[in-house]
Amino acid sequence: MPLVEGLILLAVLLLLTIVFLLVMVFAAPERIDGDLLAMNQLDPVVFFILFGSVVLMLPSALLARLVLGPRPLGLLFSVTGRIRWKWLLTCFVAAVAIYALINAIAVGLELAAGGRPVSLQPAPGFWWLMALLIFVVPLQCAAEEVVFRGYLAQTIGRWLKHPAWAILLPVPLFVLGHAYDIWGQLSVGIMAVAMGIITWRTGGLEAAIALHAVNNMTVSLMAMVGLTDMNDTSGAPTDLIAVTLINGGYVALVFWLVRRNRSVAVTRTIVLPPLPQPARLPELGHRPSRLAEDASGLAAYVLDPATQRYLVLPPQYGPYSVRDGQGRYVGLLDTRAAHGAHTGDDVAPAVPGEPSGESTSRPNGSDPHGTATPPSPGATPPPATPGEWDVAPTYTGRHDG
């Protein structure tokens, strides 16, 4: 089922992407020419296409999960079956604090080393970009997390028990989705591992979505004011230091927040329905009146599972082979010996309106799975030979039915 769910996800994503690109080409043909990654990514139209096309992963994953996945649908987001918005906001604030702290330290060190402040130069269409930054970029990050830390991690977790597999195996696919050089890919890989760890530790995607969103929003905002180049795909070994500090600090902070906030569920408890209990016979006064007329006390009252009504098992036709709901042999219910040899006149009458049913009888010592058709009501049973039946009513066998 996880593989079929993935095929549905890819098929829906392909269809939505084709429709989305066709609409954008017809809406702004003069703005789209050639490779999108080579175009100016700070152009609002190009920016929208790059981030908006990734957002399509979100409805694709939700639709695939709706068709085949576990219920409720919100289990794709967290163990509680929903997005925990308060926890998401808490993680977002924590990620902003970590990014602000690390970047402030980096700027301070650069200025202390003799660097000069850089003047801010807003890009053309700055406010359009700002609107896209607020509304589209978080959805883009949520979509990637739903697919890589949601669907893929849960799929791997269905087959491999240790959480390390679910954390690490989606990382290469996530890295290949970013067109950077080796240093940029390593930076993305470090971030992917951090997001996988906090997803496992917090029982949901909220912490990973917050980290991903703050990272992408920070990089985009810096590019919008001229502090970095969004088209630059190169990196440097020193970038790994900042990435490690940011992601390591955020992971540690999230772990601390989870320990302090006991209301954040990190596991899901499944309450199974109680096992069906065997039918309990009512008190004699509450049994059907005709059954209560059997003063011998040797008739067995059995609940018919199909109709939930009581059947009469005449004692002279016993002993009866008892089986559980799956047809497995349990033991004997022997009522004949103490009652003695009866004639058909001694048969406990059937209750009017109650269903009649066949019972299984056998002498003691025979094959427990052997059966014999009981005589019809009113017929005289064959006389019992000495020693053929037990001398007292007994029920023998194991009680695991």
- The number of beta carbons lying within 10 Å of the beta carbon of residue 55 is 21
Q: Is the peptide bond before 163 cis (omega within 30 degrees of 0)?
A: no
Residue 242 structure tokens: 């900042």
Place of tokens 């801010």: 120
State whether residue 230 is helix, strand or coil: coil
Q: How far is CA 397 from CA 184, 224, 261, 299, 389, in A?
A: 71, 81, 54, 19, 16
Q: Nearest 10 degrees: CA dihedral of 69, 73, 74, 80? A: -80
Q: How far is CA 286 from CA 10, 96, 289, 294, 310, in A?
A: 62, 70, 8, 14, 12
- Contact at 8 Å (CB) between 128 and 134? no
Residue 104 structure tokens: 């402030």
User: What pLDDT digit, counting tens, does each position of 187-221 carry?
Assistant: 999 999 999 999 999 999 999 999 999 999 999 99
**Helix segments in 114-236, DSSP class H:** 126-135, 137-145, 153-159, 163-168, 170-176, 182-202, 206-224
Whole-angstrom distance, CA of residue 286 vs CA of residue 280? 12
Query: pLDDT value at position 336?
Result: 59
Residue 188 class from Cβ within 10 Å (0-12 exposed, 13-18 middle, 19+ buried)? buried
Q: How far is CA 90 from CA 87, 96, 199, 206, 264, in A?
A: 5, 10, 15, 9, 11
User: What pLDDT digit, counting tens, does each position of 58-77 carry?
Assistant: 999 999 999 987 788 999 99
- The number of beta carbons lying within 10 Å of the beta carbon of residue 212 is 26
Residue 248 structure tokens: 């390591």
DSSP 361: B
Residue 386 class from Cβ within 10 Å (0-12 exposed, 13-18 middle, 19+ buried)? exposed
- Contact at 8 Å (CB) between 17 and 53? yes
Q: How far is CA 326 from CA 194, 303, 330, 357, 369, in A?
A: 50, 15, 11, 17, 14
Listed as own residue / partner, the contacts of 396-401 with beta carbons closer than 8 Å and 24 or more positions apart are 396/331, 396/332, 396/334, 397/322, 397/329, 397/330, 397/331, 397/332, 398/330, 398/331, 399/330, 399/331, 400/324, 400/330, 401/278, 401/322, 401/323, 401/324, 401/325, 401/328, 401/330
Whole-angstrom distance, CA of residue 380 vs CA of residue 329? 28
DSSP string, 100-114: HHHHHHHHHHHHHTT
At position 285, the amino acid (one-letter code) is G
Whole-angstrom distance, CA of residue 193 vs CA of residue 29? 39
Confirm whether pTM is higher than 0.85: no
The interaxial angle of helices 237-260 and 206-224, nearest 10 deg, is 140
Strands, sheet with 320-323, edge to edge from the N-terminal-most edge strand: 320-323, 329-334, 394-397
- Contact at 8 Å (CB) between 216 and 41? no
Q: Nearest-CA neighbor of 90 among 3, 11, 202, 206?
A: 206
**Greatest extent of the chain over all pairs of C-alpha atoms, in Å:** 116
Which segments of the chain have a pLDDT < 50? Answer: 279, 297-300, 338-401
Whole-angstrom distance, CA of residue 17 vs CA of residue 54? 9
SS (H, E, C) 369-388: CCCCCCCCCCCCCCCCCCCC
